[in-house]
Structure 1
Amino acid sequence: MFSKDNLFAVSLFPYLGFLWFLSRSQETPRLALIGFCVLLIFVAVTIPAGIYARVHYGAELANVDWLHGSAESFLTLSNILVALGFRQGIIEYQKRQQESKTND
């Protein structure tokens, strides 16, 4: 029915909607939002890398280690930014909770 490539392309639209709603939220830590946006860079890099792997090496991207690892580094960066962003958000939330307790 759907090929993995078509499904990958179609999944971009719900993700863009997710980013739109997340960017409107006042509760989302900025660094986490940046991390979610960096995931789009991963997508933008993965598509041409996959095409290059197919044309130049005649293989799937996953089978060309140096190319696959380079593309995946953007996914790793995205994950790190999201994790650090939410960590920062939790720390700020805990500080606000402590301040409100001391002010009561």
Structure 2
Amino acid sequence: MLSKILLLLNSTDPSAFFILSLFPYIIFLYWAQKCLSIPRTSLIGFRLTLLFVLMTIIFAIISLIYFGDELTNIDPLHGAAEAFLTLSDAFIAWGFIQMLKPEEVKNS
């Protein structure tokens, strides 16, 4: 039974799951922009995650057309795609780190 399920999952194209996973993330972004407790810099990082997804799709298409292989096997393109994820993660982390810093109070 388990082997049949694993075989079915292994033969399933993950593209549909990838596309379906964008909808909850877009709902999260809608909620996050209304939430006042999420720093603006972090919100930009969360939005940049969509840029990472877009660039990953573009680089995957390029790797299939020009190299005839998957994106994970073409190191320069894979690294470039991952750079967008690193950028978005850096914005998210930086925003929350800035939120933890105590604000200076000027008593003059």
Matching of residues 18-97 of structure 1 within 5 Å: 18-91=28-101, 94-95=102-103
**What is the distance in 2 between the residues matched to 1:74 and 1:3?**
24
What is the TM-score normalised by the length of structure 2?
0.82
Supply the distance in 2 between the matched residues of 1:73 and 1:4 (Cα, whole angstroms): 23
Larger fraction in helix:
1
Counting matched residue pairs gives 96
Aligned-pair identity (%): 41
1:18-46 deviation line (CA, Å, top 9, x unaligned)? 00000000111000000000011111111
Structure 1 runs not aligned, ≥5 long: 100-104
Task: Please name the residue that 2:5 is paired with.
Answer: none
Distance 1:72 1:95 in 2: 34
